[in-house]
Structure 1
Amino acid sequence: MTIPPPHVESEARHDLSEGPRIASEAPPTVDGLVRAARRTLRRVAHDLGHPSPPSAPAPPNAPRRWQRLLAHAAVLVLFAIFFPVTIGVLTNQYRLDGGIAGFLAVTQATPLLMLAHRPLQAWWIILPADVLGALVLLGYPPASYDVWPWAPPALLGHLFLLLAVALREPLQTAVAVWTVTATASLALHLVDPARSNGSAVLLPVLGAVFAVIGAVVRERGVARRRLVEQEIISEAERARRTLLEERARIARELHDVVAHHMSVITVQADSAPYRVQGLSEEAREEFGAIAASARESLTEMRRLLAVLRSDGTDGERAPQPGLDRVQQLVEATVRAGLWAELSLAADLPDLPQAVDLSAYRIVQESLANVVRHAPGARTRVSVTSDDGHLTVLVVNGPAAQAGSPLETNCTGHGLVGMRERVRLTGGTLDTGPLPDGGYRVAARLPLKHSVS
């Protein structure tokens, strides 16, 4: 009997290298860059005054360590390229002093190291640095192939920055960042329209493209994680519903068992004054109270059973089967094309009704699982009794032919029902695959302390 393994799914960490934030987090409301600036300053102040807490364990589906290291390595490569290139372009093409060029390179390129984890904070540093660099360039005469207001390294670095912000932050934040960047580019163009050229328009246009790409990737990841969460919730609800359905079915069958004994008690209590001579008046009243209590209990049980049978089905009102019908069950399974062998002990004692019914249901569900999941497998059913316990053993080999099982949509009712029945009787259940590809179900049910 092959049982499909459960699916394991989970969420991703909060890091640019690990994709967008998980969908279970509500995206922060962006009500303006002023509030975002305050939030950023509070975070920076907190980080400066408090050491970072230990990282939480990564979820099962979080990106692997090499993927996270790859993102940080990419950030290091960007810094290693942009820092010397910025100094070289500012000194050679724009003829800036070495000290000024080095200062601008530090302020414009160093924050790129924060792209993997804090791109919004990096933007708060890089944008003023780029604007400052554009204003500094106004103090130098334009040269051949001069690009203003954004030097080529600053332009490319800002594009990567906008992409990182769109990947890491909500859509509203990315739009706000792009709007401020475009506004700064327009303002610099108005400062000196004669010197301004294509970079004043190129940054907003390419920045919008990069921001859209990042936002699409982020929203796609959020949608995927929401789908995973819904699947996890649906799986949990399905398992809970399966358990409740099995408990309800067992409760209906238990009612039939208990109702029989309560009916016998009622009849005996009612007929005792007529069967036993010389009973005192107090004894007659006691028997009457016992009969009244039994009838009241039966009424309450029927009322509860009406709730459990709210689906309107009447098929389960037939007499419940027991081990006396196991042979018929095995014969029907053989006629269905399954090789099955039955070993039923001849010296079985009188079984409590709950144990008798539970043993039959365990054999029935085990054979049904063999037919569904391992068609054609050789199966052996053994029912024995020793030391006050009833042992039910169902063992099957691998499927006769390799291939897909007859049913792939397993609801899990079978094993859940077995466990509930064994728990009802106070017994133990052992199930699991065998080394040869088969499956084993072993139930041990006590005969003395079971519910009857």
Structure 2
Amino acid sequence: MKIRQLTSVPSTLTALPILLADALVTPTGGHEPLLGSARRPWVRSLPYLVAVALLAVLIPTGTVLLHTAYRLSVPTAASVAVAQSAPLLAAVTRPLAVWWVVFPASLAGAVLTVGTPAGAGPWPWPVTTLIGYLFLMLALSLRERGRTLLAVWLVTTLTTAAAGAGFTRAGNSGAPLPIVLSGAVLVLGWSLRGRGEARRLLAEQEQISEAERGRRTLLEERARIARELHDVVAHHMSVITVQADSAPYRIAGLPPEAAEEFGTIAASARSSLAEMRRLLGVLRSEESAPDRTPQPGLDRLPELVDTVARAGVRAELTVTEAVGALGELPQAVGLSAYRIVQEALANVVRHAPGAAVWVSVAAEDDTLRITVVNAGAPGGTAEAGIESPEGTGHGLAGMRERVRLLGGRLDTGPLPDGGFRVAAVLPVNQPEEPGT
């Protein structure tokens, strides 16, 4: 066991430079600007403003400083100042790539100024070079991972220490200052970045919690609606089914027509109960899984018209040949067409009993056109589709919602003879089927 521990130490020391070199050449993420996710526009533009201000100050100041204090020629001083400061504008989006430009430029400036007198200024980091380099350290700390920051600081420390040891100059006491300041800026930026990420994660958790609370409230409301539907509607429909089925046996001397009518009532009640069970299953499903039961479509319209005809409404259905040429309709379109006709006929039964109804289904330009027109009620009762004391107007609202989800058009309104008209245009080709 001891031999393994001893042999693992050299391997770790060998792998450390490889890890540091990889950290220096591999950026952390994309090229989103610093503070690019801030809400306020002025905060997002702040890094660019600081970078432009540094360029406007450091390039002329650095040129003058390198020429007067460090005795470089004006072209050389200007070239070094531009090489050290101009790339800082790109540090807003690519700080690690900029470091690979600014750091060699700083080394070149140190080599060019190595022979200047000791009292000329701090060496190997002139003041202007150090200011620009600290801004770059701040940009790095706000973007790169900790391993990259450690590698940058170690390279800065080693080169500064080697320069100070290899070129001893009187009065060069400021050599450790860049090491301390760069490390402090990296730690400060890393701390600010960690705090910002912690606040962002906390905000995301709060949003998730809020969404979860909303989802739980929705599930509770759906469960309450399901209980009410089960306790009220389903119970009464079950009673109607039982009474209609047992009427021929309970009532003596019942005419055959009446017995057939009771059978029709029982069949309609059982069909309603089946749809009620399916609706209750959807409401009680936490994941809102799509229902696998086949949904009614245009093929069920004749059955629907026959049902209202047995209820005393003279209904006539017309389906043009162009509808068959459309082929198989999307489920959302077929179901919406069926529900629109169903609601229109139900309105006639409720508000204009005994009135004649004409249902027309046609196709034109990849659209399905449904028209339901009823004549005025024989007794002068309320027009179908118009809100009455017995109705709530929810039927027309449901039609409009279905048509709107499919991107179609709906036209409803009374007719001069006292009847009512419902006309819907549904696009057949949908990019994706909305939920029903």
Give TM class, smaller chain.
0.5 to 0.7
Q: Secondary structure at the match of 1:199?
A: coil
Gaps of 5+ in 1: 1-29, 311-351, 353-385, 394-420, 430-452
Q: Equivalent of 1:130, from 93, 103, 106?
A: 106
Q: Secondary structure at the match of 2:119?
A: coil
Distance 1:202-1:270 versus aligned 2 partners, 3 A rule: same
Question: Counterpart in 1 of 2:380?
Answer: none
Question: Counterpart in 2 of 1:389?
Answer: 388
1:266 maps to 2:265: no
Per-residue CA deviation, residues 63-84 of structure 1 (Å, 9 max, x unaligned), is 22x4444432222221121112
Q: Equivalent of 2:80, from 99, 104, 115?
A: 104
Shift of 1:107: 0.9
Q: CA RMSD in A?
A: 4.8
Alignment of 1:394-433 (within 5 A): 426=398
Question: Counterpart in 2 of 1:63?
Answer: 40
Per-residue CA deviation, residues 242-268 of structure 1 (Å, 9 max, x unaligned), is 222212111111112222221231243
Distance 1:390-1:181 versus aligned 2 partners, 3 A rule: farther
User: Is this contact kept in 2: 1:273–1:279, CA < 8 A?
Assistant: no
Distance 1:391-1:172 versus aligned 2 partners, 3 A rule: farther
User: Is this contact kept in 1: 2:24–2:151, CA < 8 A?
Assistant: no
Shift of 1:31: 5.5
Question: Counterpart in 2 of 1:120?
Answer: 96
Distance 1:112-1:426 versus aligned 2 partners, 3 A rule: closer
1:150 maps to 2:149: no
Distance 1:92-1:74 versus aligned 2 partners, 3 A rule: same
Shift of 1:220: 1.9
Question: Counterpart in 2 of 1:234?
Answer: 209
Distance 1:166-1:39 versus aligned 2 partners, 3 A rule: closer
User: Is this contact kept in 2: 1:163–1:211, CA < 8 A?
Assistant: yes
Shift of 1:273: 2.7
- What letter corresponds to residue 166 of structure 2 in structure 1? V
TM-score (norm 2): 0.52
Question: Counterpart in 2 of 1:198?
Answer: 173
Q: Equivalent of 1:94, from 28, 53, 70?
A: 70
Shift of 1:428: 9.4
Shift of 1:85: 1.8
In structure 1, what is the Cα distance between the partners aligned to 2:50 and 2:397?
62
Per-residue CA deviation, residues 70-102 of structure 1 (Å, 9 max, x unaligned), is 432222221121112212222211212223222
Question: Counterpart in 2 of 1:34?
Answer: 22
User: Is this contact kept in 2: 1:148–1:197, CA < 8 A?
Assistant: yes
In structure 1, what is the Cα distance between the partners aligned to 2:106 and 2:395?
71
What is the total number of aligned residue pairs between the two structures?
281
- What letter corresponds to residue 34 of structure 1 in structure 2? D
- What letter corresponds to residue 215 of structure 1 in structure 2? W
The structure with the larger Rg is 2
User: Is this contact kept in 2: 1:422–1:428, CA < 8 A?
Assistant: no
Q: Secondary structure at the match of 1:115?
A: helix
Distance 1:237-1:31 versus aligned 2 partners, 3 A rule: farther
Gaps of 5+ in 2: 1-17, 287-349, 351-384, 402-436
Question: Counterpart in 2 of 1:327?
Answer: none
User: Is this contact kept in 2: 1:104–1:129, CA < 8 A?
Assistant: yes
User: Is this contact kept in 2: 1:155–1:203, CA < 8 A?
Assistant: yes
Question: Counterpart in 2 of 1:79?
Answer: 55
In structure 2, what is the Cα distance between the partners aligned to 1:63 and 1:120?
26
Per-residue CA deviation, residues 154-188 of structure 1 (Å, 9 max, x unaligned), is 12221121112112333443333222222222232
- What letter corresponds to residue 132 of structure 1 in structure 2? A
Per-residue CA deviation, residues 40-75 of structure 1 (Å, 9 max, x unaligned), is 9x99xxx9xxxx9xx9xx97x6222x4444432222
Distance 1:184-1:423 versus aligned 2 partners, 3 A rule: farther
In structure 2, what is the Cα distance between the partners aligned to 1:248 and 1:424?
26
**Structure with greater contact order relative to length (CA < 8 Å, sep ≥ 6):** 1
Per-residue CA deviation, residues 125-174 of structure 1 (Å, 9 max, x unaligned), is 11111111112222x24342442222222122211211121123334433
Distance 1:266-1:63 versus aligned 2 partners, 3 A rule: same
User: Is this contact kept in 1: 2:222–2:284, CA < 8 A?
Assistant: no
TM-score (norm 1): 0.51
Shift of 1:32: 3.9
In structure 1, what is the Cα distance between the partners aligned to 2:23 and 2:395?
58
Shift of 1:217: 1.8
Distance 1:423-1:154 versus aligned 2 partners, 3 A rule: farther
